[in-house]
Amino acid sequence: MRITVKEASIHLQGHGMQKAVPVQDLKPGMVTMWNWGETAEIEGIKSSKSGKTHQIIYKGGKVDHRRMRTGRLVAIA
């Protein structure tokens, strides 16, 4: 995955360039997009004690939880 911080977009396999935001800016209700166009709606976000990582909890579907570093860019639908 190629990351372009300047434009806040990332390249997703099978989908191309997509608008992105850092994990720390995600909020419940936002819809994230992954490779091949798969989407998931965020139900909740938990920060670690140190604040370096966040655990993302999704509504239903295949992906239930993802743990990511604070500055990682995530595509939004």
**DSSP β-bridge partners for residue 17:** 11
Structure tokens at 10: 């990332």
What ranges do the domains of the chain cover?
A: 3-76
- Residue 55 in contact with residue 63, Cβ under 8 Å? no
Where residue 10 falls among pLDDT bands split at 50, 70, 90? very high
- Residue 43 in contact with residue 28, Cβ under 8 Å? yes
Predicted pLDDT at 18: 93
Identify which has the larger pLDDT, 6 or 39.
39
Structure tokens at 69: 């570093």
Query: pTM of this prediction?
Result: 0.78
Per-residue pLDDT at 74 exceeds 90? yes
What's the fold here for domain 3-76?
SH3 type barrels. (2.30.30)
Cα–Cα dist 23/55, whole Å: 9
pLDDT digits (tens, 9 = 90+) for 31-72: 999 999 888 899 888 888 998 899 888 887 555 678 889 889
